[in-house]
Amino acid sequence: MSTASSLPSGLIASKSAASHRAYVTLVTNADYAMGATALARSILLSGTKADIAVLHTGGVDAAALKPLSDLGCRLIETELLDTSEAFNERHARGKLHANAPFTKGRKPAFHSPLDNFCKLRLWQLTDYESCVFIDADALVLRNIDKLFDYPEFSAAPNVYETLKDFHRLNSGVFTARPSAETFTAMLKVLDRPDAFWRRTDQTFLETFFPDWHGLPVFMNMLQYVWFNLPDLWDWKQIGVLHYQYEKPWEEGHPRAAELKPLIDLWHAYLEGTSIPDISSLPNPSGSHAE
Ligand code: UDP
Ligand code: MN
C-alpha cells in the first residue's frame, strides 16, 4: 500500500492519483459502499480516463470495500470532520429529523445526516486539479467528463416536485477544485456557534457558494422526477441518475413499485450483467425514445 505524499495528514490513500481529475464519492457504511460499487461500475462504463476516488471512514469494513478496489477505485481512508460536540448533537439524526422534518420522501435507517458533511473533504484532495463529486446513490449513464471543465462551484437544481425549485441546488453532483485554503475557509463557516444546516452539506454549500453555477438538470436527474414530473424525463439526455430519498437496494420501500424500472436498472449496474441500452429505454409517459 503506497500513500500519496501530497495528501494532507489524516487522509490515507490506497494508491497514488493516476489522473489530474477524479470522480469522488463518499461511503461511511456498508450500504453506501454497495451504492458506490454500482456507481463505480457505471463510471467505468462511461469510458472516462479520470480516477474514481472513494472517501471512506474507518467504520466501513474491508469486505464492503473490496468490490471497489477490485474495480480499480482509489480508496482514501479518512474520518468524519472534526466538528464540535454541539454541532454534532444539532445534526444527529433524531434531532435533525425533529427540527427539520422530511415531508416529501423518507430517508433510510442507515443514513446519518452528520456523515454528509464529510463530503467537504473533497477539497483536501489536492493531488487533483478538478473533481466531480457524485453521491454513492447515483449512476452515470453516459460520459460526463465535460463536467470537469465547469467552474467551481457548479451543481444541478433540486428539481423533483415542482419547477419552482429550479433555484435550489442539489448537492448530489457538483464540480469543485480541491484547495487547502477553501477547505479551511469552509470549516470556519460550517461550525459557527448555533449553526444549523437543515439539509446538511446541501444547505451549507448553497450558502458558501451563493453564486453557484447551474448544471443542466439532466446531470443530476432525481428519481422522483420519474413520477412527479414525467414530462421532464428523457433517457437520451440523462448524465447522472440520482436515487434521492429511498435507495434502490432497500427491500420493498414505499416507492418501490412506482420506481421499479429505475430499481431494476440500478441492480443491472450493481451486478454488471444485462445492462440495457439506455437510449432505448421507455420514458415514464410510456413513449419510446426516437
Ligand atoms: N453518506 C454516507 N453515509 C451516510 C449518509 C450519507 O456515506 O450515513 C454519503 C453517501 O455518499 C450518500 C451521500 O452522503 O450518497 C448523501 O446522502 P444520501 O444520498 O442518502 O442523501 P439524499 O440524496 O437521499 O438526500
Ligand atoms: Mn443521494
Mean pLDDT of 88-112: 94
Is 10 in contact with 78 (CB distance < 8 Å)? Answer: yes
Can you give the length of the chain in residues? 290
C-alpha radius of gyration, the chain, whole number: 18
**Reported confidence tier of residue 1, pLDDT bands at 50, 70, 90:** very low
Say how many C-beta atoms besides its own lie within 10 A of residue 53's C-beta: 25
- Tell me 283's DSSP state: P
pLDDT of 290 over the 50 cut: no
**What is the 1 CA–ligand 2 centroid distance (Å)?**
30
The pLDDT tens digits for 112-132 are 999 999 999 999 999 999 999
Q: In the chain, pLDDT over 90 holds for what percent of residues?
A: 95
Task: Map out the domains of the chain as residue ranges.
Answer: 4-280
* 25, 91, 111: residue to mutate for ligand 1 pocket, most atoms within 8 A of CB: 111
The residue type found at 31 is D
Q: Measure the CA–CA gap between 5 and 161, rounded to whole angstroms.
A: 45
The answer to pTM > 0.75 is yes
The ligand that comes nearest to the alpha carbon of residue 96 is 1
Cell of 11: 487522509
Q: From start to end of the chain, where are the E strands?
A: 12-13, 21-27, 51-57, 74-78, 130-134, 138-140, 154-157, 169-176, 213-214, 221-222, 240-242
136-147 burial code (b ≥16 CB/10 A, e <16): bbbbbbbebeeb
Q: Measure the CA–CA gap between 132 and 48, rounded to whole angstroms.
A: 12
Q: What is the pLDDT of residue 5?
A: 52
Average pLDDT of the chain to the nearest whole number: 95
**Reported confidence tier of residue 2, pLDDT bands at 50, 70, 90:** very low
Pick the CATH number of 4-280 from 3.90.550.10, 3.30.930.10, 3.40.50.300, 2.40.10.330: 3.90.550.10
For the Cβ of 115 lying below 6 angstroms from any atom of ligand 1, the answer is yes
User: Under DSSP, is residue 95 helix (H, G, I), strand (E, B) or coil?
Assistant: helix
Ligand 1 atom showing the smallest separation from residue 25 Cα:
11
For the Cβ of 27 lying below 6 angstroms from any atom of ligand 1, the answer is yes
- Residue 147's nearest CA partner among 117, 115, 172, 120 is 172
List CB contacts of 84: < 8 A, sequence separation 6 or more. Answer: 191
List beta partners, residue 213: 154
- Tell me 139's DSSP state: E
In this structure, the residue with its CA closest to atom 22 of ligand 1 is: 244
Q: From start to end of 6-149, where are the E strands?
A: 12-13, 21-27, 51-57, 74-78, 130-134, 138-140
Q: Measure the CA–CA gap between 145 and 132, rounded to whole angstroms.
A: 9
- Residue 109's nearest CA partner among 201, 199, 31, 224 is 31
Instruction: Give every strand in the sheet of 12-13, ordered side by side.
Output: 12-13, 74-78, 51-57, 21-27, 130-134, 169-176, 154-157, 213-214
Cell of 108: 433510510
Mean pLDDT of 12-41: 98
**What is the 54 CA–ligand 1 centroid distance (Å)?**
13
**What is the 108 CA–ligand 2 centroid distance (Å)?**
11
